[in-house]
Structure 1
């Protein structure tokens, strides 16, 4: 089929092989060069292939438009569900998906464990950006200016004795989170709750969300922290592959 041969040509391009000649394509596909030329001519006319240099072809800019359309249609809670369910199953605790919204955060999705706990980060809730592992995983990657604006806004309030209310302390704490690659909190917003969180980035390394695991202190302290961190990292990687 003509369409199948055209797709076979496009499939030859990847991150390692970004430019190919017609003879190279013909050899890879075991097709006559004349046949490859015909398909390449159509692809070039439609903007899906460009002549990178004389005799060498690469993917065209039309794919950028298509990629943007795909990204616009990505539903973050939907593509995260499988990874979140597996994270909750493997850790036995609640998994939480959070996104930044101005100087606050919004819980897009939560997968409760078999023994759910009462936390502020329930689906649809607006939560503070300055406390809890879910929020701090976001705030650590939003820039110092945002952190300073947050503290100047008067929005930072004491929820428990562990809530960080000093700007300099928070800036140092967020730098430590960036260095470690994950956030951790004990009773910062919800008394008696321990949580671990990590940021989620899209293919352009733009911050889009955070993923965390939260559970009661007495149960979480029985688990190996590095195992929980590894499980979150695996879930984040699965989600990022789809962004």
Structure 2
């Protein structure tokens, strides 16, 4: 099994998180690589309850937890998970345009929801989830998970690939700070882009672009280097430092400079 890079900048307060749990990211098998970006496996052991926050990204996740496979649509709200005792959770993080191939329906319909796989996908998910949660072997867990996903018979979708590529552009290019810029890059109208994002991603391009710019800010805060927050706000397309601070605080819960200091001293 090969490893996958994932997106560690989405883990809030990673210094403390590294002491509380381990994260392994695993590349999917070839048949699923167009749809699934990576699998993630979180393990924790013998500890007091620990609450971890993760910044939601523009992607659907399926996770084996609480005896079932849960489909997590994109949420505008902060995501928290409390870890207790000893356990693990295995998840699949889908490409931005990849999940629609499993359901053949608009991804916006599940945004802001968490639903059992049996309500959306390929039959009863509970036996697979129980097998995953009872195992300690990573390869065995991933194999069972992928067999279930393949039961949906996902079909390659050229439009889904294009949307995944567009979202990747929005992630990697800091000069893209507005939805109309991404539409121009895609060679379509803003209205068309908004319709395609609702259908395939589950949320609008404006939200996607701003979320990536906030993740750029969290990555800067995690870097351990001094940050000129005013200059960074300008680079990321915010009107000024106060604008970046408001949005960052709304998503992460702490102003960026204070967040950096807290993470550095943990």
Structure-1-length-normalised TM-score: 0.23
Query: Which is bigger in relative contact order (C-alpha 8 A, separation at least 6)?
Result: 2
